[in-house]
């Protein structure tokens, strides 16, 4: 019997014939934490009695959630991480470089890697065929010391996507639709594995968006095959030698198969206060919005900024809306400057933020007021998520977000394209 992507990667890294349901100890190729989980990770590491790091150059601390720091306490957390990095020879990605998951896909993740991060959206690297999953500070501290951890080999759900997206519909709409269909715990402990004739023509950026949100239906990983699109992406990042093809076996065994017709998808969003509370954008048109946020590890890539710029080119945001845009990394910000997307967005009324995570989790920058409504391209809309339990967050694609910024109310992007 053949293997799923999850079984293949965990077999390779554990040196066993890993099958769904097995408990294995697997080598971890890359481990990281960020500035809201890293300080606890460092403290736990010191407490554990582990003296050395297994792979200092494959251990990364990201300062991306509170950047530039909004408070003395968070600045002290940043100092703790910088000090640890220096003492142990760990790689540090400091203020302004970008969101951890974006830096990982640009510069570090390889197809077939096992990656563990102290951040739930570590799953993003599944877009390039890496078994990447989030864990807490204790697990990550132990991985830093031992270079390995235990995994339960997940059962896999095959998501077969066929057909072409309509204009104005993207990978974000697909994953919101899937989370709505499965529910927030519909894939708990499972591997979501994407296939079907839509995949070869799906951009790497959209694959990352989809993989990023696999955790929103509980999944341990969201995996794409590492095909020519993945190869071309790695070449474009200057890492051609990091490519190796990985595909599931044709006779792999899946727990279930879900079929999605991409052509039948419409612009979709998640209503407050859960990600699986999905609806079609056209069912909510007219809802007044005070803030639109385009960015994050979900949708802060060049392709996302290009879509927003194409909708807002030569136009102005609605006067009742604050449009906040944060490219996911310095590299993306530079590319967006080079292509004039930044110019276009600022001319339309955008407030440009440095690469970082702040608004998404309500840490700083763009915190909502009482009763305010935000349409965000991020991945979570739990009560209180954007800093105020009395505010309302709708999750949507960059196209829906930009169309909404233009009109001041939730708008189907097909109306403005």
Partner 1 sequence: MLRGRAFKFGDSISTDHIIPGRYAHLRSNLPELAKHVLEDADPTFVSRVKPGDFIVAGNNFGLGSSREHAPLVIKMAGVKAILAKSVARIFFRNAINLGLPILICDTDKINDGDELEVDLEGGKVKDLTSGQTLTSGKIPEVMLRILEMGGLIPYIQKYGDFRL
Q: Is 405 in the site for partner 1 (CB under 8 A)?
A: no
Q: Is 23 in the site for partner 1 (CB under 8 A)?
A: yes
State which residue, 124 or 350, has the beta carbon closest to partner 1.
Answer: 124
Closest distance to partner 1 from the beta carbon of 3 (Å)? 21
State which residue, 16 or 237, has the beta carbon closest to partner 1.
Answer: 16
Quickly list DSSP for 351-366.
EE--SS-GGGGTSSSS
Bin 129: left if φ > 0, else alpha if -120 < ψ < 50, else beta: left
Of 162, 274, 287, 339, the one binding partner 1 by CB under 8 A: 274
Closest distance to partner 1 from the beta carbon of 230 (Å)? 25
Query: Of residues 56-75, which lie at the interface with partner 1 (CB under 8 A)?
Result: 65-66, 70-71, 73-74
CA–CA gap between residue 342 and residue 354 (Å, rounded): 12
* Contact partners, residue 233, CB within 8 Å, separation at least 6: 128, 204
Closest distance to partner 1 from the beta carbon of 297 (Å)? 13
Question: What is the enclosing helix (H) or strand (E) of 148?
Answer: strand 148-152
Closest distance to partner 1 from the beta carbon of 114 (Å)? 15
Closest distance to partner 1 from the beta carbon of 271 (Å)? 14
Of 12, 27, 50, 415, the one binding partner 1 by CB under 8 A: 50
State which residue, 77 or 242, has the beta carbon closest to partner 1.
Answer: 77
Pairing, β 114-118 against β 91-93: unpaired
Q: Is 185 in the site for partner 1 (CB under 8 A)?
A: yes
CA–CA gap between residue 49 and residue 130 (Å, rounded): 30
State which residue, 121 or 318, has the beta carbon closest to partner 1.
Answer: 121
In 2-137, beta strands by DSSP E: 23-27, 30-34, 59-62, 91-93, 114-118, 131-134
Burial string for 325-341 (b: 16+ CB within 10 Å, else e) reads: bbbbbbbbbebbeeeeb
Pairing, β 291-295 against β 322-326: parallel
Of 17, 47, 249, 283, the one binding partner 1 by CB under 8 A: 47
Number of residues that bind partner 1 (CB under 8 A): 57
State which residue, 135 or 305, has the beta carbon closest to partner 1.
Answer: 135
State which residue, 344 or 381, has the beta carbon closest to partner 1.
Answer: 381
Q: Is 134 in the site for partner 1 (CB under 8 A)?
A: yes
Of 1, 49, 241, 251, the one binding partner 1 by CB under 8 A: 49
CA–CA gap between residue 14 and residue 25 (Å, rounded): 6
Of 113, 139, 242, 303, the one binding partner 1 by CB under 8 A: 139
CA–CA gap between residue 100 and residue 117 (Å, rounded): 9
Q: Is 95 in the site for partner 1 (CB under 8 A)?
A: no
Query: Of residues 322-381, which lie at the interface with partner 1 (CB under 8 A)?
Result: 361-363, 367, 380
Query: Of residues 370-389, which lie at the interface with partner 1 (CB under 8 A)?
Result: 380, 382-385, 387-389
Q: Is 172 in the site for partner 1 (CB under 8 A)?
A: no
State which residue, 70 or 371, has the beta carbon closest to partner 1.
Answer: 70
The DSSP secondary-structure symbol of 238 reads: T
Q: Is the dihedral of CA 123, 124, 130, 134 positive or negative?
A: negative
Cross-sheet strand order for the sheet of 191-195: 221-223, 191-195, 156-162, 256-261
Per-position x/- string for 110-129, each x denoting binding to partner 1 as judged by CB under 8 A, each - no binding: -------xxxx-x-------
Question: What is the enclosing helix (H) or strand (E) of 394?
Answer: strand 392-395
Distances (CA, A) of 318 to 32, 259, 267, 304, 307: 40, 38, 21, 20, 18
Of 54, 95, 184, 279, the one binding partner 1 by CB under 8 A: 184
Burial string for 30-41 (b: 16+ CB within 10 Å, else e) reads: bbbbbbbbbbbb
CA-angle at 199, arms to 193 and 201, nearest 5°: 165
Q: Is 83 in the site for partner 1 (CB under 8 A)?
A: no
Residues of the shown chain interacting with partner 1 in the complex, contacts defined by CB under 8 A? 23, 25, 36-37, 39-40, 44, 47-50, 65-66, 70-71, 73-74, 76-77, 80, 117-120, 122, 134-139, 142, 145-146, 148-150, 152, 184-185, 188-189, 218, 220, 274, 361-363, 367, 380, 382-385, 387-389
């Amino acid at each position: 019997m053949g293997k799923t992507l999850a079984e293949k990667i965990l077999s390779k890294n554990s040196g066993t014939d890993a099958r769904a349901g097995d408990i294995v100890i697997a080598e971890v190729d890359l481990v990281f934490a960020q500035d809201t989980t890293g300080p606890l990770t460092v403290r736990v590491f010191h407490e554990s009695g582990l003296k050395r790091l297994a792979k200092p150059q494959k251990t990364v601390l990201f300062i991306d959630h509170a950047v530039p720091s909004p408070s003395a306490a968070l600045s002290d957390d940043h100092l703790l991480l910088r000090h640890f990095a220096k003492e142990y020879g760990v790689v540090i990605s400091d203020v302004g470089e970008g969101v951890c998951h974006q830096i990982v896909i640009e510069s570090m993740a390889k197809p077939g890697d096992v990656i563990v991060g102290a951040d739930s959206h570590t799953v993003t690297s599944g877009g390039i065929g890496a078994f990447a999953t989030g864990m807490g500070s204790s697990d990550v501290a132990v991985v830093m010391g031992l270079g390995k951890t235990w995994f339960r080999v997940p059962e896999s759900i095959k998501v077969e996507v066929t057909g072409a997206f309509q204009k104005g519909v993207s990978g974000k709409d697909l994953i919101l639709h899937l989370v709505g269909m499965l529910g927030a715990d519909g894939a708990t402990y499972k591997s979501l594995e994407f296939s079907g004739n839509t995949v070869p023509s799906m951009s790497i950026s959209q694959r990352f968006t989809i993989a990023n949100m696999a955790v929103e239906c509980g999944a341990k990983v969201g995996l794409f095959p590492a095909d020519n699109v993945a190869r071309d992406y790695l070449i474009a990042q200057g890492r051609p030698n990091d490519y190796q093809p990985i595909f599931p076996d044709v006779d792999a065994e899946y727990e279930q198969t879900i079929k999605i017709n991409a052509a039948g998808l419409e612009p979709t969003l998640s209503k407050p206060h859960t990600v699986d509370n999905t609806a079609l954008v056209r069912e909510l048109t007219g809802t007044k919005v005070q803030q639109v946020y385009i960015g994050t590890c979900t949708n802060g890539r060049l392709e996302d900024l290009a879509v927003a710029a194409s909708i807002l080119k030569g136009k102005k945001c609605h006067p009742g809306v604050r449009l906040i845009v944060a490219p996911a990394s310095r590299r993306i910000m530079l590319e967006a400057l080079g292509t004039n997307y930044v110019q276009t967005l600022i001319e339309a009324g955008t407030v440009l933020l440095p690469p970082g995570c702040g608004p998404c989790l309500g840490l700083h920058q763009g915190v909502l007021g009482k009763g305010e409504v935000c349409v965000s391209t991020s991945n979570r809309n739990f009560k209180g998520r954007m800093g105020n339990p009395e505010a309302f967050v709708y999750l949507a694609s960059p196209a829906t977000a930009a169309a909404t910024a233009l009109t001041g109310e939730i708008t189907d992007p097909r109306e403005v394209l």
